Amino acid sequence: NLNWKETQEVGSIIEKELGIPFSIDNDANVAALGERWVGAGENNPDVVFMTLGTGVGGGIIADGNLIHGVAGAGGEIGHMIVEPENGFACTCGSHGCLETVASATGVVKVARLLAEAYEGDSAIKAAIDNGDNVTSKDIFMAAEAGDSFADSVVEKVGYYLGLASA
């Protein structure tokens, strides 16, 4: 999501200045390594880790090895197509990527789409209809508080996450 056009060399500079080995990787890969080291996947040779935030990422460890794949895209699950027919445009140039429906902005897109047909009472639906700023956090908090519309949004996002995870 940084949209860098060329490689940013920082590793050798840090290694030289600190005098210790240095490695850099993306957040999801490093998080997967952390989970394998001291988290839910502690000492498990096979771990799959998913990150949800401004984008959707993943880290995959198989037989104790972090899978980078071709061009470092081994765990880039955010660009798996989960909505092939009428999917939202993605920053990668494709349509229907998981990131377009399960990232922070993607959850809001799903809510706006579902709001068009929803007819029940809902604070989130009302906020969307009024043009108010609604965040994914607002949606998840409303779902937790019992807002049925927000719950339907979370259910739809969960469906997409399930497709990508299967």
Instruction: Give me the helices (H) in the chain, please.
Output: 11-18, 27-38, 99-102, 104-115, 123-129, 136-144, 148-165
Mean pLDDT for all residues in the chain: 94
pLDDT tens by residue, 30-77: 999 999 999 999 989 999 999 999 999 999 999 999 999 888 888 889
Residues 104-123 have a mean pLDDT of 97
Query: What confidence score (pLDDT) does residue 7 get?
Result: 75
136-144 and 148-165 are packed helices; what angle lies between their axes, rounded to 10 degrees?
110
Q: Is the pLDDT of residue 117 over 90?
A: yes
Sheet holding 65-66, edge to edge: 47-52, 56-62, 65-66
Summarize pLDDT for 99-113 with one digit per residue, the tens: 999 999 999 999 999
**Residue in the block written with tokens 């081994």:** 74
Give DSSP secondary structure letters for 20-33. Answer: S------HHHHHHH
Tokens linked to 34: 């952390």
Amino acid at 14: I
Instruction: Determine contact, residues 25/54, Cβ cutoff 8 Å.
Output: no
Residue 18 has pLDDT above 80, yes or no: yes
The model's pTM: 0.86
Domains of the chain in sequence order: 1-77 (3.30.420.40), 80-166 (3.30.420.40)
Can you count the helices (H) and strands (E) in the chain? Answer: 7, 3
Cβ–Cβ under 8 Å, residues 136 and 107: yes
Distance from C-alpha of 163 to C-alpha of 166, rounded to nearest angstrom? 5
Identify whether 27 is a catalytic site residue: yes
